[in-house]
């Protein structure tokens, strides 16, 4: 078995590893997007809530209602901060997974390059053997013709 054919299992493993890392990257991107949508929903809800509050007559608001509003907005702001943290964490996971995928892809490309070098070397050897065989055949024909 040639050296290049011996690399076939290694190349297959590298390709599978690259595909696996790419799939994980896709999953992490989907999670990030989900977290971003959730943050956007929270921000939109807060803006709509404040807009409705501002449209109401502030003179009608009781002290209890004002305290409840303040408490609700504080909880909502805390939820937004927490979601921003989730988005940041998901983004970091995407960055890490992207690095893992790039490493796997680079490894696969390096193995592919090694295989190409092995194949080129094998081709040169084969061409050289064929040339030697052709030269020997030509010399044999020439010697037979010379001796006649």
| pLDDT 10s digits, 83-106 | 999 999 999 999 999 999 999 999
Q: What's the pLDDT at 36? A: 98
The residue ranges of every structural domain in the chain are 3-147
Q: What's the pLDDT at 59? A: 66
- CATH match of 3-147 with 1.10.287.1700: yes
Over residues 75-82, the mean pLDDT reads 97
Query: Quick one: pLDDT band at residue 56, thresholds 50, 70, 90?
Result: low
Q: pLDDT, tens digit, for every residue of 114-132?
A: 999 999 999 999 999 999 9
Task: Identify which has the larger pLDDT, 50 or 109.
Answer: 109
Task: Identify which has the larger pLDDT, 134 or 141.
Answer: 134
Mean pLDDT of the chain, nearest integer = 91
Contact criterion met (CB below 8 Å) for 47 and 137: no
Query: Quick one: pLDDT band at residue 49, thresholds 50, 70, 90?
Result: confident
Query: Quick one: pLDDT band at residue 60, thresholds 50, 70, 90?
Result: low
Q: What's the pLDDT at 63? A: 79
Return contacts of 11-18, CB within 8 angstroms, 24+ apart: 11/108, 11/111, 11/112, 11/115, 14/104, 14/107, 14/108, 14/111, 15/108, 17/104, 17/107, 17/108, 18/101, 18/104, 18/105, 18/107, 18/108
Q: Enter the pTM of the model.
A: 0.73
């Amino acid at each position: 078995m040639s050296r290049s054919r011996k690399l076939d299992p290694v190349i297959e493993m590298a390709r599978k590893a690259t595909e696996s890392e790419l799939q994980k990257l896709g999953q992490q991107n989907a999670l990030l997007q989900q977290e971003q949508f959730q943050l956007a929903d929270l921000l939109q809800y807060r803006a709509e809530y404040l807009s409705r509050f501002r449209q109401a007559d502030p003179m009608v608001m009781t002290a209890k209602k004002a305290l409840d509003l303040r408490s609700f907005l504080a909880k909502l702001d805390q939820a937004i901060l927490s979601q921003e943290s989730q988005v940041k964490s998901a983004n970091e996971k995407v960055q890490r997974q992207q690095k893992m995928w790039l490493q796997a892809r680079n490894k696969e490309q390096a193995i592919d390059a090694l295989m190409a070098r092995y194949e080129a070397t094998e081709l040169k050897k084969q061409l050289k053997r064929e040339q030697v065989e052709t030269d020997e055949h030509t010399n044999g024909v020439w010697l037979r013709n010379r001796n006649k």
